[in-house]
Structure 1
């Protein structure tokens, strides 16, 4: 563990949080961060990423990358996507893995901090298109932990793959649990 990782973990400890689990090598995968229920999820997730020693990327709507804060989001690894072309978002995000470079793409599958009946399936389709694993990660507010699960390879059997995702998130509550929805993709029927 580097000095920087120890520092970031110390900052988390000051606020009463700890990190649980480890990320695999090589560093080419999609992290799904859930439940996404609070504005605090982003700064807590960024601290956790530094504590795990990760250089992450995330996709965001293109408007986030305009002035005055665009430089900030790019500095933190942001990749702007044009959501006005919904069929192109998966391709835009999967292209970030081109060339065999290490890339960790973090996605909040709910797509919002509000309660939803289904998760957006983009993370699943991006993982399939890029040929990378999905790693579930959670902000577990009850235990004050940011935890990481084992890699899940997307097999194309959406229900079976999502069953493995649901097992990881069972019993985990976000910062605002009343905003948590079902862990389910529209494709599951």
Structure 2
């Protein structure tokens, strides 16, 4: 299976089993991964559209297939029982939506204190239909001075595409519109939810 080259800047898992598992899943389902990673130690992957739990399965399979470490956010309610251990182990960070915990500030601090920081985020913040995307990932990128790399999950083409990186200015509304445009022709798993 052809996969993008992963440069030495990006942290690795070094797990033959997980690499095999990810590649086996993607190839058996006909998925391909195209594009290039930035030559950066720190960046945010903005993954969209997010309309199904299958997006997570494909995303984690790509992460395993490429043998890379990526942190991702998930609502705190899924971090329970055996799933808590699994999600924490593969890079999950629980988010409490019902309270303001200063998630942006926490992630900016985490980025600044880390040698490597790759964070995957679904900008919609939900699988449900929504017109307004969350802008927190752009605030994190701007405050931490790291790029955003849009990643499209196209279920029509069965293609995960790493798009060119964006350096984020302080005009967050304009930046959000630019990032949203990157996904204009992407076929979601559930197109009616876009």
TM-score (norm 1): 0.85
Kindly tell me: are residues 26 and 176 of structure 1, through their superposed partners in 2, closer, same or farther at Cα, counting changes over 3 Å? same
Does the 8 Å CA contact 2:139/2:172 hold for their aligned counterparts? no
In the alignment, does 2:142 pair up with 1:124? no
Equivalents in 1 of 2:66, 2:93: separation in Å?
Answer: 21
Q: CA RMSD in A?
A: 2.2
Residues 6 and 53 of structure 1, relative CA distance in 2, 3 Å threshold:
closer
Residue in 2 that maps onto 1:50: 64
Q: Are 2:182 and 1:174 equivalent residues in the alignment?
A: no
Measure the CA separation in 1 of the matches of 2:73 and 2:58.
17
Q: Provide, for residues 81-101 of structure 1, a one-character-per-residue CA deviation record: whole Å limited to 9, x for no partner.
A: 343432611112222212241
Shift of residue 69, structure 1, vs aligned partner: 1.8
Cα distance change on mapping 1:82 and 1:17 into 2, 3 Å: same
Return the alpha-carbon distance in structure 2 between the equivalents of residues 87 and 143 of structure 1: 38
Partner residue of 1:34?
Answer: 48
Partners in 1 of 2:181 and 2:66 — Cα distance?
A: 23
Gap runs ≥5 in structure 1: 181-189
1:103 aligns with one of 117, 124, 128:
117
Question: Which of 103, 107, 110 is the matching residue for 1:93?
Answer: 107
- Tell me the alpha carbon deviations over residues 30-51 of structure 1, each in whole angstroms, 9 at most, x when there is no partner: 1111100111010110011223
Aligned 8 A contact 2:138 2:175 in 1 = no
- What is the CA distance between 1:22 and its match in structure 2? 1.6
Q: Point out where structure 2 has 5 or more consecutive residues left out of the alignment.
A: 7-14
